Amino acid sequence: MKIRILPSLLAADLGRLGEEIARAAASGADGLHLDIMDGHFVPNLSFAPATAALCAKLLPEGIELNTHLMMTNPHKYAGRFVEAGSDTVQFHLEVRDTVNVRALVAELEAHKARVGLAINPETPVEVAFPYLDCADEVLCMTVHPGYGGQAFIAEVLPKIRAIRERAPALDIMVDGGVNGETAVLAAEAGANAFVAGSYLFAQPDMAAAVAEMRASCEAAFARAWGK
């Protein structure tokens, strides 16, 4: 299973946004994670399609732009984030009563975007089971979405394990409170993609931290799940 490491731009120095995007791109990371908050699904606001376009312009070919829509109405904006250059668009299954999940997945696929389906820490894992066949990745939030710098919620680990047992080849991503230690716990539970904001952007040598996280997650995943 390929291990993916993605710094989250939310923790970057916003006064030097271009340089920070370039620092993440040069770190050996697989992609850049971009958090979009609507002030409604979460009580905070963050970036916009223009930021996605800036990231897409500055990221070299082969470095994924992974856009996480924490929005009540992802269907109204998903297309704009694809047009802005997102390779993957993730939206939350908590909106499934008001948003047609399969229709939005189909729309994203028609635009050649990868699709991620996200669940919050308190959302039962069973909510994701019916959709495992139609997503490229499942994002298990390991903090309550809305803010960077929170502590990893270890109660999410059994949910990761339950998804991995049902979907051996699916990309399973964790986001929130991920650092050198918690990433290993998540990899043992079955995660293979790791978003880290405050931890990676605080590193004077981001490349070394990415390499170390990759090596320890590869070893932990292989120990627990085989290759």
List the catalytic residues: 35, 175
Instruction: Report if residue 146 touches ligand DX5, rule: CB under 6 A.
Output: yes
The interface partner of residue 146, options being ligand DX5, Zn ion, none and the CB cut-off 5 to 8 Å by kind, is: ligand DX5
Nearer Cβ to ligand DX5, position 8 or 88? Answer: 8
Q: Does 23 bind Zn ion (CB under 5 A)?
A: no
Residue 72 is a binding residue for ligand DX5 (CB under 6 A): no
Looking at residue 142, what DSSP letter applies?
Answer: S
Which of 4, 21, 23, 35 binds ligand DX5 (CB under 6 A)? It is 35
Among 18, 124, 149, 168, binds ligand DX5 (CB under 6 A): 149
Piece of the chain touching Zn ion by CB under 5 A; list 47-55, 65-73, 111-119, 127-135: 65-73
Q: What is the DSSP letter of 148?
A: S
Give ∠ CA 163-7-59 in degrees, rounded to 5: 115
Residues 162-201 that bind Zn ion (CB under 5 A): 175
Q: If DSSP states are collapsed to H, E and C, what string results for 55-113?
A: HHHHCCCCCEEEEEEECCCHHHHHHHHHHCCCCEEEEEHHHCCCCCHHHHHHHHHHCCC
* 198 is a site residue for ligand DX5 (CB under 6 A): yes
Kindly give the residue spans of alpha helices, DSSP state H, lying in the chain. Answer: 17-25, 49-58, 74-83, 101-110, 157-166, 180-189, 198-201, 206-225
Q: How many residues bind ligand DX5 (CB under 6 A)?
A: 22
Q: Which residues in 157-176 contact ligand DX5 (CB under 6 A)? A: 175-176
For 42, residues 6+ apart whose C-beta sits below 8 A from its C-beta are: 70, 145, 146
Contact 174, 142 (CB under 8 A): yes
For 88, half-sphere exposure in the C-beta direction (CA atoms, 13 angstrom radius) is: 27
Q: How many residues bind Zn ion (CB under 5 A)?
A: 3
Question: According to CB under 6 A, which one of 1, 3, 5, 10 is a site residue for ligand DX5?
Answer: 10
Identify which range of 49-57, 106-114, 130-138, 196-204 contacts ligand DX5 by CB under 6 A: 196-204
Check: CB of residue 7 under 8 Å from CB of residue 30.
no
Give the residues lining the site for Zn ion (CB under 5 A).
35, 68, 175
Binding residues for ligand DX5, rule: CB under 6 A, are 8, 10-11, 33, 35, 68, 143, 145-150, 175-178, 195-199
